[in-house]
Amino acid sequence: MAKEEQSWKEKLGAAFGTEYNPEIHDPESVRDEVDNESSNENANTNQTLYVRIETKGRKNNPVTTVNEFEGSEDNLKDLAKILKTKCGVGGSTKDGTIIIQGRVLEKVAKFLKELGYGVKGV
């Protein structure tokens, strides 16, 4: 390929000493891969999750908790990360429970329903 015909991606790869591989770097293929992974993870979304607001033991600061998740610890952390990102707040996981900072019960319930989970406690 002549220098004039190189795409910006190839030029960038040459600058950093990496070759551009459209199978690896194509945003559409990455998006499809993520969609396939998320659909596989959400295949078992016939479970019901319990969402509620708690303040006890937190100096009266509210947190939203998601309980009764059935799945691996990695899937629990991935779901927590999605919820924290969607709500724009912090949080953590502990003993199979997702803890989201603040009173975001409605947002959490909405996103869980969009992911295909059953939601109770709203």
Q: Nearest Cα to 94, choosing from 48, 54, 37, 61?
A: 54
Residue 54 CA to residue 82 CA, distance in Å, equals 20
Q: How many domains does the chain have?
A: 2
In a domain, 1, yes or no: no
Q: CB of 112 within 8 A of CB of 51?
A: yes
Question: Quick one: 33 and 53 in the same domain?
Answer: no
Q: What mean pLDDT is reported for the chain? A: 80
Question: Quick one: 65 and 107 in the same domain?
Answer: yes
> Residue 34's pLDDT band (boundaries 50, 70, 90)?
very low
pLDDT in tens, 51-108: 999 998 888 899 999 999 988 999 999 999 999 999 999 999 999 999 999 999 999 9
Residue type, 83: L
Question: Quick one: 58 and 94 in the same domain?
Answer: yes
Question: Quick one: 11 and 70 in the same domain?
Answer: no
Q: What is the DSSP secondary structure assignment for residue 5, as one 8-state letter? A: G
The whole model's pTM is what? Answer: 0.63
Question: Quick one: 101 and 84 in the same domain?
Answer: yes
Domain that holds residue 98: 46-120
Question: Quick one: 52 and 103 in the same domain?
Answer: yes
Question: Quick one: 21 and 77 in the same domain?
Answer: no
